[in-house]
């Protein structure tokens, strides 16, 4: 977040006619598309488009690196990719106790894609939305009706979609490693075990109840943890960008707040780099742990 970027906040807020509140609401509004009559479904086009773009970017660079890989001294980018692949592969070998050709590529994809989506929060909050507004204005439209959010993981729909995909993979891994019979039987016989048929019948209900709660908590925790951290980070960047706007309400305070705004933006950016990396790592590790638990027999 630069001084030039954050200094645009007051200008945009003033142009919107609604002050700081209008500025925040504009930045937190998605570019949406209503599907069907009566608003049957609303798609957040910005989250979908940016996610697909980042996925294609990830595939392009990693496939290009794989095809140009050399057995000798690697280039800088190849060494960087190999470091990421080695790191993820080591985590998988230590955590996943089953056998699967899918788990390592899946974990690598999750880590890199979630990190790239999180990293969009490092782009100054006015750059891409401002360019989008300018494009609408040049096209003869109202620029203040041009909405764009650039952090897909700050959208609850994106994190929920990722978590539900992991949830479905957990069921697939459990059935493929144990068989449908054992997988179903475990739902009624674990975590409480009984030796006799009467005991198994009595404990079947609490077992299946705990199993349902356990399965529902996993995608819920994955969804809310990633979304909460990224939404909070995005909101703090917006509030930092508004520091000079709030100072402009007091005569002579803008030049006092500008250095503080720069320091606050720099400190939060440095800290947020750790946050976005840690959240990608946690999402990947929990996915590996959940899949490993699904593949193990009780």
What average pLDDT does this structure show over 206-227? 94
Using alpha carbons, select from 222, 223, 227 the residue that is nearest to residue 151: 227
Give the range among 119-133, 186-200, 261-275 with minimum mean pLDDT: 186-200
The answer to whether 152 touches 50, Cβ cutoff 8 Å, is yes
Catalytic residue list = 221, 225, 229
**Strands annotated E in the chain:** 32-35, 41-44
DSSP H helices in 139-196: 156-189
Chain Cα centroid distance, residue 225: 9
Q: What is the pLDDT of residue 208?
A: 93
Mean pLDDT along residues 65-71: 89
pLDDT for residue 11: 52
What token pair was written down for 170?
């957990």
Long-range contacts of 164-168 (CB under 8 A, 24+ apart): 164/219, 166/218, 166/219, 166/222, 166/287, 166/290, 167/215, 167/218, 167/219
**Domains of the chain: total:** 1
Coil vs helix vs strand at 35:
strand
Report which of residues 76 and 1 the model is more confident about.
76
Q: Which residue has 């142009």 as its token pair?
A: 15
The Cα–Cα gap between 159 and 224 comes to 8
* HSE (side-chain half, CA atoms, 13 Å) at 153: 32
Average pLDDT over residues 251-270: 79
**Alpha carbon distance 261, 275 (integer Å):** 20
pLDDT level of residue 14 (50, 70, 90 thresholds): very low
For position 19, what pLDDT does the model report?
A: 72
Arithmetic mean of pLDDT, 182-192: 88
93 pLDDT higher than 90: yes
Neighbours of 46 (CB within 10 A): 22
Say if residue 298's pLDDT is above 50: yes
**Which pLDDT score is estimated for 267?**
94
Which has the minimum average pLDDT: 195-199, 211-215, 274-278?
Answer: 195-199
Domain limits at 94? 3-295
Phi-psi region of 267 (alpha: psi -120 to 50; beta: other; left: phi over 0): alpha
Q: How far, in Å, CA of 286 to CA of 226, rounded?
A: 12
Residues 57, 80, 78: CA angle, nearest 5 degrees: 80
Which helix (H) or strand (E) segment is 214 a member of? helix 197-241
Terminal Cα distance for the chain, rounded: 50
């Amino acid at each position: 977040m630069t001084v030039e970027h954050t200094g645009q906040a007051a200008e945009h807020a003033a142009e919107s006619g609604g002050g700081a509140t209008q500025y925040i609401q504009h930045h937190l509004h998605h570019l949406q598309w209503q599907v069907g009559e009566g608003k049957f479904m609303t798609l957040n086009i910005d989250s979908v488009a940016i996610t697909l773009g980042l996925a294609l970017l990830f595939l392009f660079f990693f496939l290009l690196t794989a095809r140009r890989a050399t057995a000798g001294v690697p280039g800088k980018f190849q060494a960087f990719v190999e470091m990421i692949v080695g790191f993820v592969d080591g985590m998988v070998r230590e955590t996943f106790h089953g056998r699967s050709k899918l788990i390592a590529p899946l974990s690598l994809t999750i880590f890199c894609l979630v990190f790239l989506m999180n990293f969009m929060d490092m782009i100054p909050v006015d750059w891409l939305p401002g360019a989008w507004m300018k494009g609408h204005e040049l096209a003869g439209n109202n620029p203040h009706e041009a909405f764009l959010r650039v952090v897909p993981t700050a959208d609850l729909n994106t994190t929920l979609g990722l978590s539900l995909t992991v949830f479905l993979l957990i069921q697939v891994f459990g059935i493929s490693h144990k068989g449908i019979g054992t997988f179903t039987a475990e739902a009624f016989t674990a975590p409480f075990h009984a030796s006799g048929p009467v005991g198994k019948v009595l404990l079947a209900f609490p077992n299946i109840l705990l199993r349902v709660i356990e399965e529902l908590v996993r995608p819920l925790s994955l969804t809310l943890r990633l979304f909460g951290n990224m939404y909070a980070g995005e909101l703090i960047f917006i509030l930092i960008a508004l520091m000079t706007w709030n100072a402009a309400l007091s005569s002579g305070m803008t030049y006092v707040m500008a250095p503080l705004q720069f320091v606050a933006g720099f400190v939060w950016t440095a800290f947020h780099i750790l946050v976005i990396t840690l959240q990608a790592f946690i999402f990947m590790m929990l996915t590996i742990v959940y899949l490993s638990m699904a593949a193990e027999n009780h």
